[in-house]
Amino acid sequence: MKYLLTVISTVVLAATVCANDFDDLVKRAEAGDSVAQFEVGYAYAEGIIVEKDCILAEQWIRKAAEKNYQPAQLGLAAMFDDFTCSGPLHILCGPGSVRGRTHDGCTKWYRKAAEQGGEEAVSAYVWHCISDGDCGQEETLEWMIKGAELGYDEVQAHLGNYYAFMAADTVSAYVWLVLSKLSGRPNDGLNPDPFAKYMTTTDLAQAQFQLGERYYEGRAVEQDYCIAESWYRKSAENGHFKAQTKMCHIYDPFDVSMTALECIDELPFDRSNLIAWSVEWERWHREAVRHGTLEALINFAWHCRSNGTCTQVELIDALTRAAEMGHVESQFNLAGRLNQGPVAAYMWWVIAAKGGNKFARSIVDADILNEWISPDQIAEAKRLAREWIEAHPTIDSANAIPDTTR
């Protein structure tokens, strides 16, 4: 384990001291210097300068550990640890060398070290909890998540295996196994690549999207827009709506994203070629709109109006579906594009005005349309609007997107 490297280096350092140096070290230890106490303890553990004495080793290391010196806490935990211990103290002093050896003592000192933070201490505590099992499942999982979110690759591998074998959560398992693998640590148990074969396409797409989000935001990994794009693309190709929406934003030629700016040379398109860029942009809008969500319909309608590559029929269809879902801005825009006569258009203006659209309200309240629509037609349009409003009393406001024209 990684924390043992610190312990070993300390022992090697201690081996270089001579007798006079050791006397000075003891004086500093007796004066309360926690680092000196730790080094004196290791000297007794290995028999450097002095005769090997594991009881004195434990006493001096305990003094340093009680002063919250993290290496000493890890060392003392190893001396108490019958199962997971493989460190120098255990090797030198052997099982049973510490008086009052208990698992509780082992867990206590691992936890105290972990509470100070750092990859070595957290990884050591997680491994102890997994191997010994006396921390409790809730606390073990809490520390695994904490260490994994901090980017500790060893803990990420443990968490991935936990989700795979214990929690049956294939999405979370895949995410953490991939992150651990990409960090350079071999996975202990599962390799995410063949593991993906046992996942549904939906679950795999969700996991790929989560990986894209983590790289985009720099959570548990170093932020990397290029890697984020690659994961978003995989997820989008597997039909994930949010990933497809992300791809729309990335390739939007009217709003150059940070992803595009960072990855001009790495993404699979020449960013100077706006035609190819726009084709990619339109591709993902069309993929996303197949899901029929309000967000997808609004984005597609905006794409059609700004880019002009969609047909009028496609635009009207998207606006109509969004309007029927209660999106006020789409209701207003639909009214201005309908070729079904003034009654249908006026109906949608009335509905949009009812929803709070200020432009629709100004049209309904003014007399500017007198030459275009008769009083009878206005009355008919208002009747149809009332019927529509009565038929849609519970528009899903949680799925609605605010009207930006208010």
What's the average model confidence in pLDDT over 314-338?
Answer: 91
Q: Is residue 103 part of a domain?
A: yes
- Rounded to the nearest 5 percent, the helix, strand and coil shares of the chain are 70, 0, 30
∠ CA 274-276-278 to the nearest 5 degrees? 65
pLDDT band for position 3 (50/70/90)? very low
85 phi and psi, to 5 degrees?
Answer: -70, 130
Neighbours of 9 (CB within 10 A): 11
Query: Considering just the CA atoms, what is the radius of gyration of the chain in Å?
Result: 33
Q: Is residue 140 part of a domain?
A: no
**Residues 76 and 85 sit within 8 Å (Cβ to Cβ):** no
What's the average model confidence in pLDDT over 295-322?
Answer: 87
- How confident is the model at residue 80, as a pLDDT? 76
Q: 11 versus 392: which is more confidently predicted?
A: 392
Number of domains composing the chain: 1
What's the average model confidence in pLDDT over 278-292?
Answer: 87
Which amino acid belongs to residue 263?
Answer: C
Q: Is residue 326 part of a domain?
A: no
CA distance 90 to 403: 68
208-262 pLDDT, tens digit each: 999 999 999 999 999 888 899 899 999 999 999 999 999 988 887 776 665 656 6
Dihedral, CA atoms, 38, 43, 44, 47, nearest 10 degrees? 160
Q: Is residue 361 part of a domain?
A: no
The Cα-based distances of 235 to 21, 243, 303, 306 in angstroms read 62, 6, 22, 26
What mean pLDDT is reported for the chain?
A: 81
CA distance 385 to 351: 6
Q: Is residue 5 part of a domain?
A: yes
Q: Which domain holds residue 61?
A: 1-135
Residue 367 has pLDDT above 50, yes or no: yes
Range picked from 11-20, 176-185, 376-385 for highest mean pLDDT: 376-385
Q: Is residue 51 part of a domain?
A: yes
Residue 122 has pLDDT above 70, yes or no: yes
Q: Is residue 100 part of a domain?
A: yes
Query: Shortest CA distance to 215 belongs to which of 178, 252, 242, 161?
Result: 178
Could you give the percent of the chain with pLDDT greater than 70? Answer: 76
If 0-12 CB within 10 Å is exposed, 13-18 middle and 19+ buried, where does residue 384 land?
middle
Which residue bears the tokens 């390739």?
251
Mapping DSSP onto H, E and C, the string for 333-392 reads HHHCCCCCCHHHHHHHHHHHHHCCCHHHHHHHHCCCCCCCCCHHHHHHHHHHHHHHHHHC
- How confident is the model at residue 309, as a pLDDT? 75
Q: Which residues contact 71 (CB under 8 A, 6 or more apart)?
A: 6, 7, 10, 38, 64
What CATH number corresponds to the domain at position 75? 1.25.40.10
- How confident is the model at residue 308, as a pLDDT? 64
pLDDT band for position 29 (50/70/90)? very high
- How confident is the model at residue 258, as a pLDDT? 58
CA distance 287 to 129: 46
Residue 370 has pLDDT above 90, yes or no: no
259-273 pLDDT, tens digit each: 656 665 555 555 556
